[in-house]
Amino acid sequence: MSKKKPLILVTNDDGINAKGLKSLIEIVRSFGDVIVVAPVEGQSGMSNAITVKVPLNLKTITSSNSITKLTSNGTPVDCVKLALNQVVERKPDLLVSGINHGSNSSISVVYSGTMGATIEGSLNGIPSIGFSLLDFAPDADFSVADKYAPKIIENVLQNGLPDYTCLNVNFPAVKLSSIKGIKICRQTKGRWQEEFDKRTDPHNREYYWLTGSFKNYEPDADDTDEWALKNNYVSIVPITVDLTSYTAMNHLKNWKL
Amino acid sequence: MSKKKPLILVTNDDGINAKGLKSLIEIVRSFGDVIVVAPVEGQSGMSNAITVKVPLNLKTITSSNSITKLTSNGTPVDCVKLALNQVVERKPDLLVSGINHGSNSSISVVYSGTMGATIEGSLNGIPSIGFSLLDFAPDADFSVADKYAPKIIENVLQNGLPDYTCLNVNFPAVKLSSIKGIKICRQTKGRWQEEFDKRTDPHNREYYWLTGSFKNYEPDADDTDEWALKNNYVSIVPITVDLTSYTAMNHLKNWKL
């Protein structure tokens, strides 16, 4: 009895032409049939946003036996929803998102379009992995991902993932030979300290560009993703879609409400 | 010794002119000085999105002794970041977001701009509460919020909230007299089942409007927010910004990586 090849849905937030997406397609095509639905343009920082004010389009770019590529004007989450509802003929066995140009470790998971798409996959019962490289450059070197992503994908295809759970994988931007291995981590406690670059336009109106620097609240905690990445490990943080703080529930039960 | 009046930051995702925002301002103004920084237009479904591709503006609408109102073209999270970095002179004692026109219970917390702003507040160490009413109508009746939101605000101002934690509060859309009380809940497991309304434009191009219906995976679980709301309770779910699935971490430790 022949087993069907796995069906793999690929998306990202840097857009259909990003080098990281091309690298990811190359990585997953040996595992099964590949369908790509990705934003036509970059959608960084779009988190789990969905598009409700404007209609969405969906255009087929290429279609062959083993790879189909489509783009949409929507967010990464819209791309996943469109893919699952309008494109695939059966539920994908795996969703991969990325490879993002830039880190999605620690609190960046909350703002990331790459992880938004990944979370959407897990909500639909699909084992889902978001991949990011700690290098923003459009021509970043994805060799570390080429070597380590297949191991992770293999494990997820074989073992699945717990319900309502996806993976946030980050690769250090170092030479392949410097990588020490893969580490299962928790999300580092930290936040972006925002600074705004305030300017004045030719018509004398003020405007702001969002900039910022990351503040790590626990730089010495060796079970965190930030620590792992700084020490040349590939980090994997399992992410849950149940945002309930169960410890806070007890705290609140003493309130007079 | 006189104590400073609390400083309260108000935002939403339905925009500066929404009735829910006006109701929330009326509710909080008796608790302290109020600064409002809200999107100029509706930003529903924007989640934790931040704006990186276009510059942000920030315009003062009104300013008096006790209330200052500003708008921005940014997302709800952008509004919070701008408020904290460019507007307030000291860290607010409380952030409130809403009152959203429409539910943000269960998995909607993930897509909600109202909750995106609330989460951003908690990341900045500010006790933060997102309020939503289960009624999408622009002229919705906020009487239930008028009665129950002050109790919750009072408790948060008095007791604070645990680090990295905010509150997701939803009000049933029923008569005030039908409300049974307030219930501390966990987030219901469920998801939006998307359907797309596929149309053809005058130039024969296809386009899609996102629609959908909510699927509750555990309709009988009486500790969930969906159950509470269906049974005429105001629901409070404490939300954490640490998305790590600690149970999944153990699961992954058996993998060959």
The CATH number covering residue B165 comes to 3.40.1210.10
pLDDT of residue B1 exceeding 60, the answer is no
A253–B184 C-beta distance less than 8 A: yes
Nearest CA in chain B to A150: B257
Buried b (16+ CB within 10 A) or exposed e, B109-135: bbbbbbbbbbbbbbbbebbbbbbbbbb
A57–B51 C-beta distance less than 8 A: no
Q: Average pLDDT for residues A74-90, to the nearest whole number?
A: 97
Within 8 A of B110 by CB-CB distance, chain A residues are 48, 119, 123, 241, 243
Q: Which range, of A93-97, B51-55, B77-81, B125-129, averages the lowest pLDDT?
A: B51-55
Q: How many domains does chain A have?
A: 1
Within 8 A of B55 by CB-CB distance, chain A residues are 199, 207-209
Do the domain assignments include residue B212? no
pLDDT of residue B211 exceeding 60, the answer is yes
Q: How confident is the model at residue A253 (pLDDT cuts 50, 70, 90)?
A: confident
A162–B247 C-beta distance less than 8 A: yes
A78–B206 C-beta distance less than 8 A: no
Do the domain assignments include residue B2? no
B207–A182 C-beta distance less than 8 A: no
Mutate which of A37, A148, A227, A245 to disrupt the B interface (most B C-beta within 10 Å)? A245
Q: Based on C-alpha coordinates, what's the Rg of chain A? A: 19
pLDDT of residue B3 exceeding 70, the answer is no
Do the domain assignments include residue B83? yes
Q: Which residues are CB-contacts of A70 (< 8 A; sequence separation ≥ 6)?
A: A35, A36, A37, A38, A58, A59, A60, A61, A82, A83, A87
Q: How far is B247 from chain A (nearest CA, A)?
A: 9
**What CA–CA distance (Å, rounded) separates A234 from B153?**
43
Do the domain assignments include residue A98? yes
B86–A243 C-beta distance less than 8 A: no
Q: Average pLDDT for residues B48-71, to the nearest whole number?
A: 92
Q: How confident is the model at residue A257 (pLDDT cuts 50, 70, 90)?
A: confident
The pTM assigned to this predicted structure is 0.95
Nearest CA in chain A to B223: A249
Q: How confident is the model at residue B251 (pLDDT cuts 50, 70, 90)?
A: confident
What is the percent of chain B where pLDDT is above 70? Answer: 99
Q: How confident is the model at residue B225 (pLDDT cuts 50, 70, 90)?
A: very high
Do the domain assignments include residue A206? no
Q: Is B72 helix (H, G, I), strand (E, B) or coil?
A: strand
* pLDDT given at position B26: 97
Do the domain assignments include residue B135? yes
* pLDDT given at position A3: 67
Q: Average pLDDT for residues B29-38, to the nearest whole number?
A: 97
Do the domain assignments include residue B164? yes
Within 8 A of A242 by CB-CB distance, chain B residues are 186-187, 189
Domain limits for position A161: 7-189+220-243
Within 8 A of B100 by CB-CB distance, chain A residues are none
Q: How many CB atoms lie within 10 A of CB A117?
A: 35
* pLDDT given at position A1: 43
* pLDDT given at position B66: 81
Q: Which range, of A52-66, A100-114, A141-155, B177-191, averages the lowest pLDDT?
A: A52-66
Do the domain assignments include residue A239? yes
At B135-162, the pLDDT tens digits run: 999 999 999 999 999 999 999 999 999 9
Q: Which range, of A75-79, B47-51, B106-110, B191-195, averages the lowest pLDDT?
A: B191-195
Average pLDDT value for chain A? 95
A240–B244 C-beta distance less than 8 A: yes
What is the percent of chain A where pLDDT is above 70? Answer: 99
